[in-house]
Amino acid sequence: MLRKGLRFTYGAALSIRNGAMGLIVLATPLTAQEITVAALGDSLTQGYGLAVEDGFVPQMQAWLRDQGADVTVMNAGVSGDTTAGGLARVDWTLTPDVDAMIVALGGNDLLRGLDPSMSRANLDGILATAAEKDLPVLLVGMEAPGNYGPAFKEAFDTMYPELAQRYGAVFAPSWFEGLGLQEQSLAAAQDYMQADGIHPNAEGVSLIVEGLGPYVLELIERVE
């Protein structure tokens, strides 16, 4: 589980980019056969504090199917997981039936103040494992708060786009992009958060799904 300190991290972390991408409406199905996407992440992916149907994975799957995509999204989110935890389980997560992967990890690394070089190495290993299996990946980025210092922030923030470019992954700059809170206060985000101020509520997840959905559509278009 992402602990209370993440109010700070995901908070100005919720310096959520506006850049809201419009919904992509497809007149015909994207695929001739069902695609399975594994969502590798932490409590945000797992759906902490929500009814099962309100979590990220069920809502994303429903959104994709509304766009005409025959997709099953597999919940590979573990509360409290770090990039190291993701690396430890990525190989057995990518079973033969998995066609693509979403990677959304790093928040708990921030909470623990882990060296960004360690986080980068772990994410590199995750992406390398997917590359070995010839699977497309969507890498979801995040930003460190300024209290760790400029060097830490620079190293952490840049590892996501740089790794995405290195491996040719689809890159989504922020998990919270769909909330569309560019220059508003953290208090404005609370309407979309649970009482802990960390995890999104069902409405927040719905907006997050709308923000990330177009990136996932781009991901599944890469499935061969």
SS (H, E, C) 82-105: CHHHHHHHHHHHCCCCCCEEEEEC
Would you list the DSSP string of 194-208?
A: -TTSSSB-HHHHHHH
Please, how many CA atoms are within 13 Å of residue 173, restricted to the half-sphere of its CB? 12
Tell me the longest C-alpha to C-alpha distance in the chain. 49
**Catalytic choice (70, 124, 157, 196):** 196
Is residue 119 part of the annotated active site? The answer reads no
Check if the beta carbon of residue 35 is closer than 8 Å to that of residue 224. no
**Catalytic choice (42, 43, 109, 206):** 43
How many other CB atoms are found less than 10 A from the CB of residue 132? Answer: 10
Token look-up 């790794």 returns 163
Whole-number Å distance between alpha carbons of 57 and 52: 9
How many other CB atoms are found less than 10 A from the CB of residue 18? Answer: 12
Identify the helix (H) or strand (E) that includes residue 81: none
**Catalytic choice (42, 174, 199, 206):** 199
Three-state DSSP at 110 gives helix
Phi, psi dihedrals of residue 77, rounded to the nearest 5°? -95, 135
Is residue 43 part of the annotated active site? The answer reads yes
Is residue 91 part of the annotated active site? The answer reads no
Q: Tell me which residues are annotated as active site.
A: 43, 196, 199
